[in-house]
């Protein structure tokens, strides 16, 4: 009997450690490759692609027992649809080459949501959040206080040159502007730091190598802290403080704005917030399209300049761009909606958004977290597509899967409200029997 209990304990440890190892690999692999490229041997863009494919494959393998017919169809449709549009764009805009990145971007949600379904206890996710946040903040402090030493071991500019993100012709400018960090690693003197200016113009990137990704990570950690605070009816200080520190260190003005919105949405009734996040992309896209009519477009590198650029890209779209049949004439790195529309078409985006918001979990708290994430995605798409990358999206979708499969008793008032608004359960997560918050 004791031997059986020991084997069972080992099995439970493995089922917890494997998913966390996969998520950690998704978050840290770019940082590890940067170290390898700086100190051991040169990497290439193929190294990065293969690493991402390997991690996504492991995510699917680790959650294989949840791979039912619904998920299989969803995976095949996602791959088939995105590849078909990529091939059409290759034929219409051959100068842009074959776009495989968009396929990866929409496989990540499925892979890591399924991986989250393997978690038996939300407290396990709390432990992972603490560990990842502690490592992130430790390297953030290292970068902030010992920047020269940090760059000696993690040459960020050299890494992005090796993987092809920064062209060789731009390297001299990047070195001049950011001193070896990513382009946005130093605030321009004319612009200055927005959050706690006494910290200086250095925007910390830590393990994410880009300040915007550290800001996105901070947002995700705060969102988790908000929903866990609601679940336990007590404040979870660690994720809230750690997330805010990441936002401040990266000087993410956008992140600070999202946190304000999220704090309001988190304590709204879930059905009410769901209606809001369902239509928010429509209002934001129309706002971007109408921006030139009512405001003088800024050309600076701040938030106004990025919104102006996003507006300019969208207003230059023709029908083929909106349908995803032709690549954008302008680069879409700083225009998330343009990136998504030109990648999967407006039809594909609407389908993704409706499916996303129709996923059902086993408690009202899943709906709260899903709506918070939807608000974050919708707002972030105004200024870029970095929130779709594996180094931050993997953790968010993993958290969402863990919340989807965990049953948490809701207060009586919220339970009654949820029952009145109950709809057909989407088969991605709602077909299982309820589970207690502490596990199966």
Query: Would the pLDDT of 439 be above 50?
Result: no
Asked if residue 370 has pLDDT above 60, the reply is yes
Q: Left (φ > 0), alpha (ψ -120 to 50) or beta: where does 433 sit?
A: beta
- CA-to-CA distance for 94 and 347, rounded, in angstroms? 23
Two tokens, residue 221: 């950690």
Distance of alpha carbon 96 from its chain centroid, rounded? 25
C-alpha 129: how far from its chain's center? 15
User: Which of 289, 284, 345 is closest to 313 using CA atoms?
Assistant: 289
What confidence tens digit (pLDDT) does each residue in 259-285 have? Answer: 888 888 877 777 778 888 888 999 999
Which residue is listed with tokens 């918050």?
437
pLDDT tens figures, 203-245: 999 999 999 999 999 999 999 999 999 888 888 999 999 999 9
Tokens of 194: 């927005």
pLDDT band at 302, cuts 50/70/90? Answer: low
Q: Please give the pLDDT value at position 166.
A: 62
Q: Minimal CA–CA distance to 238: which of 376, 134, 141? A: 134
Q: Provide the CB-side half-sphere exposure for 233 (13 A, CA).
A: 4
What pLDDT sits at residue 300?
55
Q: What is the mean pLDDT of residues 158-162?
A: 86
8 A C-beta contact, residue 358 and residue 338: no
CA distance 279 to 275: 7
Task: Give the pair of three-digit tokens for residue 184.
Answer: 């946005």
Task: Give tens-digit pLDDT for 105-132.
Answer: 999 999 999 999 999 889 999 999 999 9
| Rounded Cα distance, 62 and 18, in Å | 7
* Rounded CA separation 438/440 (Å): 7
Query: How many angstroms separate the CA atoms of 153 and 176, rounded?
Result: 19
Question: For residue 19, which of 55, 70, 72 has the smallest C-alpha distance?
Answer: 55
Sole residue written with tokens 């770019």? 30
> Given this model, what pLDDT does residue 299 score?
54
3-class SS of residue 202: strand
| Structure-token match 């009734």, residue found | 269
Residue 429 pLDDT class (50, 70, 90 cuts): very low
So what's the pLDDT on residue 13?
60
- pLDDT for 422 equals 46
Write out pLDDT tens, residues 53-62. 999 999 999 9
**Res. 309: pLDDT tops 60:** yes
**Is the Cβ–Cβ distance between 338 and 281 less than 8 Å?**
no
Model pLDDT for residues 380-400, shown as the tens digit of each residue: 998 888 888 999 999 999 999
Task: Quickly count: other Cβ atoms within 10 Å of residue 7's Cβ.
Answer: 10
């Amino acid at each position: 009997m004791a031997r059986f209990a020991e084997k069972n304990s080992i099995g439970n440890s493995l089922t917890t450690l494997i998913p966390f190892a996969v998520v950690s690999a998704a978050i840290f692999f770019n940082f590890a490759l940067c170290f390898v490229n700086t100190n051991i041997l040169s990497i290439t863009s193929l190294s990065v692609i293969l690493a991402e494919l390997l991690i996504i494959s492991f995510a699917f393998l680790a959650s294989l027992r949840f791979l039912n017919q619904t998920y299989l169809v969803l995976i095949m449709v996602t791959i088939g649809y995105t590849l078909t549009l990529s091939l059409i764009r290759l034929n219409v805009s051959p100068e842009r080459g074959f776009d495989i990145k968009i396929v990866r971007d929409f496989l990540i949600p499925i892979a890591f949501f399924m991986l989250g379904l393997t978690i038996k206890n939300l407290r396990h996710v709390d432990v992972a959040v603490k560990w990842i946040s502690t490592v992130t903040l430790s390297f953030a402090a290292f970068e902030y206080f010992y920047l020269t030493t940090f760059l000696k071991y993690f040459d960020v500019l050299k890494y992005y040159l090796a993987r092809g993100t920064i062209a060789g012709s731009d390297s001299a400018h990047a070195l001049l502007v950011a001193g070896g960090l990513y382009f946005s690693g130093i605030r321009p003197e004319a612009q200055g730091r927005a959050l706690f200016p006494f910290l200086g113009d250095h925007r910390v990137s830590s393990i994410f190598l880009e300040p915007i990704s550290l800001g996105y990570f901070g947002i995700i950690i705060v969102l988790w802290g908000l929903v866990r605070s609601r679940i336990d009816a007590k404040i979870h200080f660690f994720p809230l403080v750690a997330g805010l520190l990441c936002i401040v260190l990266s000087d993410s003005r956008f992140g600070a704005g999202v946190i304000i919105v999220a704090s309001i949405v988190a304590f709204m009734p879930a059905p009410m917030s769901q209606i809001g996040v369902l239509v928010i992309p429509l209002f934001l896209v129309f706002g971007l399209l109408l921006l030139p009519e009512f405001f003088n477009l800024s050309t600076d590198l701040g938030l106004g300049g990025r919104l102006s650029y996003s507006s300019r890209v969208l207003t230059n779209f023709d029908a083929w761009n909106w349908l995803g049949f032709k690549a954008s004439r302008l680069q879409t790195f700083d225009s998330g909606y343009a990136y998504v529309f030109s990648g999967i078409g407006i039809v594909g985006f609407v389908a993704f958004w409706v499916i996303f918001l129709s996923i059902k979990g086993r408690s009202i708290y899943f709906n709260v977290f899903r709506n918070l994430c939807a608000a974050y995605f919708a707002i972030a798409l105004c200024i870029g597509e970095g929130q779709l990358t594996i180094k931050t999206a993997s953790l968010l979708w993993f958290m969402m899967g863990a919340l989807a499969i965990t049953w948490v008793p809701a207060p009586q008032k919220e339970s009654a409200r949820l029952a009145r608004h109950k709809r057909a359960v989407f088969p991605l997560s709602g077909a299982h029997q309820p589970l207690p918050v502490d596990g199966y």
